[in-house]
Chains A and B, each alone.
Chain A
Amino acid sequence: MLRDLDLTITRGDFTVVMGPSGAGKSTLLHALSGMDQPTSGTIDVGGERISDRTPDQLATFRRRHCGFVFQQINLLDSMTLLDNVIAPGLLIDRDRSRVAARARELLAQVGIEDDTQTQFVQTLSGGEAQRAAVARALVNRPTVVFADEPTGQLNSENSRRVLDVLTQANRDGQTIVMVTHDLRSALRGNRVLYLRDGVVAGEKHLPPYQGDDPERETTMAAFLADLGW
């Protein structure tokens, strides 16, 4: 449940949303991305109001403006990794070869080799699958990539690799909104929002992430500690 929320996400930011369970983090993410509609209030993206759109209009909005990375990964089991990335690409670009080329390039960028690209999802590790999910999220060059606890089910090595991919995308100009419980993941953002009981209880701006930085970690820890995290 969100209430009295007045929030602006700036283009090019890596915004991290934190907070205790039930604070409304995922709800915020779903509302911003048009996956759920608010019961009241408005949401504008790039100057366009999306909160009064029909489900199909929202679908069109999402395919053009949103990329998603889920905690449960949520790749389509019935497809290979490559097809998983191509499928949303074909929603906005009918040039099959161009979309396929971009999908292969993105998969390569996230560290998935050619022979793995044609494998089905069930045969891959969680890290590989999540990196493929990031590639899928980026294929349409969305306005915003929404990541909902993308490392929640990964070990530390795979978590780091996924976060590296997201960080690089952000450096390339990609706006990212990421929900996380994890302090190390949160350090990747340049803006941290802390939600509690559906309202923004705290906000912290950081310089862009450049690599592991103890001072950044201390600052973040102090911020979160002040909020009772």
Chain B
Amino acid sequence: MPTWPLIRRGLRKGRAEHLVTVVLVMLGAAMLHLGLVLGIAYPSDTEQNFDRLQAEDVLAVINSPELAVEAAQFLAADPDVTSVDVQPVRSIAATLMGYRGGDVTTYALFHDLDRPPTIGMSVGIDRHPVRFDDGIYVPLQLVQSGGYTLGGPVSIQIGPQTSTFHVQGTIETPMSGSLLLGTVGFAMQHEQYERFVAQTRATPSWVVRAQVRDGVEPSVVGGRLTQHVQAEAGGDSLSLVPFSNTSDVMKPSLLLPGSLFSAMLIVFTLIVAGVVAVVITHQVRTAVIRDLSAIGTLKATGFTSAQVLRSFAGQHVLTAAVGAMLGVVVGQAALPALAQAMTAQTGLRWTPGFEPLPAVLTVLVMIGAAALASGISALRVRKLAPVDALRGGSSDQNAVRNHFPLDRTRGGIDWVLGLKQASRRPAQGFMLALVAALLAFTTVFCVGSYRYMNDPVAMYDVSLGDWGDIWAAPLPGVDHETLRQQVAAMPGVERAYYDDMMLQANTPHGAVVVRATPDYSVLRYDSVIEGRAPRAADEVAVGVTLQRENDLGIGDQLEVRYAGRSASYRITGVVQTGFGLGRALSLTTAGYERLEPGFQPMALRVKLEPGADLDATITAIRQHQGVLAALDSEVYRASMLGPTRDLMQGLAALFVVICALLVVLVVGLVSAGAVLQGRREAGIKKALGFSNRQLSTQLVASQLPQVVLGVVVGVLVGWATTAPLVSVVGRSSGQGKVPVDIPVSMLVAVGVALVSLTVLTMTMLARRLRRVSAHALITE
């Protein structure tokens, strides 16, 4: 291949530039590979995890032995059900002390290992070699993300009593293995279980699990079960069935962290790919100018334009290929850490191997970007006549305007000389400005995202909705309205209302999560992003994803089925919620009662007056005879989303660091090139009496205006678009309009930090001129 020696020569001559490209491409490829693995392999691996653990499709926690037996018999008789399991457990809202350095509260199921479930749970994959008398098996997620260790202590508070155990081992269970799902399961040896049962108020419960035939919607089977249980339980079905779920509703929640993470990685890869394209364009243009004579010689000796063009583009395709493959290796090396992070979210072990499809896609995308950028920028080679090229180009210097003439331009000599240099290299200036803008935009985006996630109220409101200040669960058999009124009358309580989330409703567009509360206008946070919340019993607000995927519009009618009944509702608005990843409905309680007559709500929300004592009120509510449990809503919400939030925050912080690294790399590349190309000119200036400091200032002045311009543009664009973009990233998880607030001071800080980093990088590189004498610089 006649171009191969030319490619080799180009690689040799531009070693430093190609190294920067390799690093940039490697960075982008590593992220893209991880993003694609998460986007492509993770969902199917999660599906395989469900198969591996023989996960149940329907799960119901029932607080009555007769009802549990009835439910099991009903399921066993269902032709869509393939297997049924009933297991006695204890259930209660429990607080895990010391989880991630704090306390979190969740609905907990305690299993007796003498009566393990036959489906859906794997106990003791990790096991401490010493058998503890007070040993407890905890969900894998708690060990991966909670800071608990095998053999270490774990304290669980139930009501006023705290029990401390040693972590004997871990449990994997898809439907109740993660705080993200709101319910977690623990297991103990029989003797320990008996002691625990004797000491605590945990409710005797039965977990009914069922698997359904392939092709059957679990939520349909779950709906039938609910209908039957309701009929059997009379008016207290929710007290007797405090928790039920189906795998088709649950899986999206398990995939939420992965989908968010994947979206952010891919978005960021696009930005890095943009930077790579800009850098390669600059490098090719510089190389063409530098090699004009060589191009002339080649053309004169018979090389075609296409061959010369290929020699330029080929260098960068090769460089990108190396960078992309290294990136895949780096991404693959980082995959165990990512897998661990995902396990920490879901409680399901994820051990991905080498994924060829994401790897190949990654390499192809990065090579394609490099080929496109280098090919387009090398096209100018075709227009160069050999004679012009041999003369070093046909451009007439005097056709170039003399910007900033020294006899007329005000300002310090060094800044004016720097600006003169900048005006001579408009393409380089444009590249610098573009890269600075891209990176400033990304930094603002990441800072905005970080701030959004750092404001738990905002993030939890968007993802989970307003849960009031306190969440309380009535005991079975309690008169709910009386309880609500009594709690509302407690000192410091402003309002008490029910706000429930049901997991088994269906629409013609698939399974949905249903929220029901009497009056949405009393909520502190309004989830509605379009239209309004439902006010009447025949109105519904639909989740973002449900609306988008099915092109539902305000005013449309939507049929909802639940427990064998169906009702039609008029859509009044669109709500954002992470429940069901946006496949969700908001109904009024009256509206929900059309689906479930005699509905008895279970989630009592309490809003406190300003200044009221939260802990004292929680204690007072817990002491009420009709209350099963009462929790701080913020702690409860944090227990569900905290790990995801931390992961995303970490990612945003990592991206900010990567942006800083890219700034250093790109500015360093340009500055190093300017220093290298300007050594002779620097020598002349030194001879004339310019000091090192002045030369450094000139270098800074020759690049700073473009960087500042780019940073200002990038910061402004970032400020204007971060909120919509975060919403776009979160679309897959049901978000539609995310409240991202970036104060002006933060924008200024980002801008100043990026510009300072730029100046520092340029100043450091200018130091290379310091120790060389003027004479040496001129004669090099």
Chain A positions near chain B (C-beta within 8 angstroms): 26, 30, 33, 35-37, 55-56, 59-64, 66, 68, 70, 72, 74-80, 82-83, 86-88, 90-92, 96-97, 99-100, 103, 118-123, 136, 140
Contacts and interface: CB of A to CB of B under 8 A. Distances in A.
B778 interface: yes
B397 A87 contact: no
B413 A91 contact: yes
Nearest to B776: A36
Nearest to B771: A55
A188 B762 CA distance: 46
B407 interface: yes
A96 B416 CA distance: 12
A219 B423 CA distance: 54
A75 B689 CA distance: 14
A103 B691 CA distance: 22
Q: Can you list the 5 inter-chain pairs with the closest CB atoms, starting with the nearest?
A: A63-B689, A100-B407, A120-B397, A59-B691, A86-B406
A52 to B, nearest CB: 15
Nearest to A142: B689
A88 B688 contact: yes
A141 to B, nearest CB: 13
A76 B685 contact: yes
A56 B769 CA distance: 12
Contact of A36 (B397, B407, B773): B773
Contacts of A72: 778
Given A35-B774, A62-B687, A87-B417, A56 B407 contact: no
Contacts of A120: 397-398, 400, 402
Contacts of A62: 687-689
Contacts of B410: 96
Nearest to B421: A78
Contact of A83 (B402, B681, B694, B770): B402
A55 B770 contact: yes
A225 B204 CA distance: 120
Nearest to A33: B687
Given A55-B770, A79-B420, A70 B778 contact: yes
A16 B407 CA distance: 35
Contacts of A91: 413, 688-690
Contact of B397 (A90, A99, A123): A123
Nearest to A86: B406
Contact of B402 (A60, A97, A118): A118
B688 A90 contact: no
Given A35-B774, A119-B398, A87 B413 contact: yes
Nearest to A117: B407
B595 interface: no
B686 interface: yes
7 contacts: A36-B773, A36-B775, A78-B421, A87-B688, A96-B408, A99-B407, A103-B407
A100 B406 contact: yes
Interface string B404-416: 0111101001000
B318 interface: no
B13 interface: no
B270 interface: no
Contact of B690 (A59, A64, A136, A140): A59
A66 B770 CA distance: 20
B364 to A, nearest CB: 42
Q: Classify the interface of chain B: helix, strand, loop or mixed.
A: helix
B238 to A, nearest CB: 80
Interface in B402-441: 402, 405-408, 410, 413, 417, 420-421, 424
B145 to A, nearest CB: 56
Contacts of B12: none
A123 B728 CA distance: 56
A87 B406 contact: yes
B88 to A, nearest CB: 85
Contacts of A80: 402, 405
A123 B398 contact: yes
B406 A35 contact: no
A90 B413 contact: yes
A49 to B, nearest CB: 18
Interface in B173-220: none
B681 A60 contact: no
B399 to A, nearest CB: 10
Nearest to B404: A83
A59 B407 contact: no
Given A91-B413, A123-B398, A68 B688 contact: yes
Given A87-B406, A119-B398, A60 B773 contact: no
A38 B407 CA distance: 37
Contacts of A88: 688-689
Contacts of A35: 686-687, 773-775
A179 to B, nearest CB: 13
B507 interface: no
Contacts of B402: 79-80, 83, 118, 120
Interface in B435-450: none
B397 A74 contact: no
Contacts of B408: 96
Contacts of B770: 55
Contact of B692 (A59, A90, A92, A97): A59
Interface string B250-277: 0000000000000000000000000000
B407 A60 contact: no
A80 B406 CA distance: 10
Contacts of A122: 397
B693 interface: yes
B684 interface: yes
Max count, chain A CB within 10 A of own CB: residue among B398, B420, B775: B775
A60 B691 CA distance: 7
Interface in B692-736: 692-694
A86 B407 contact: yes
A78 to B, nearest CB: 5
A136 B688 CA distance: 9
Contacts of A121: 397
Given A80-B405, A86-B406, A30 B775 contact: yes
B56 to A, nearest CB: 75
A37 B400 CA distance: 39
A59 B689 contact: yes
A63 B406 contact: no
B712 to A, nearest CB: 27
Contacts of B681: 76-78
Given A62-B689, A90-B406, A96-B410, 20 more contacts: A35-B686, A55-B691, A55-B770, A63-B689, A64-B689, A74-B778, A76-B681, A76-B684, A76-B685, A77-B681, A78-B421, A79-B406, A82-B406, A86-B406, A91-B688, A96-B407, A100-B406, A103-B407, A120-B402, A140-B689
Contacts of A63: 688-690
Nearest to A103: B407
Contacts of A56: 691-693
A99 B775 CA distance: 26
Nearest to A63: B689
B214 to A, nearest CB: 73
A62 B502 CA distance: 84
Interface in B549-571: none
Interface string B757-772: 0000000000000100
Contacts of B774: 35
Contacts of B405: 80, 82-83, 118
B689 A66 contact: yes
A90 B688 CA distance: 11
A215 to B, nearest CB: 37
B129 to A, nearest CB: 68
A79 B403 CA distance: 9
B407 to A, nearest CB: 4
A100 B421 CA distance: 20
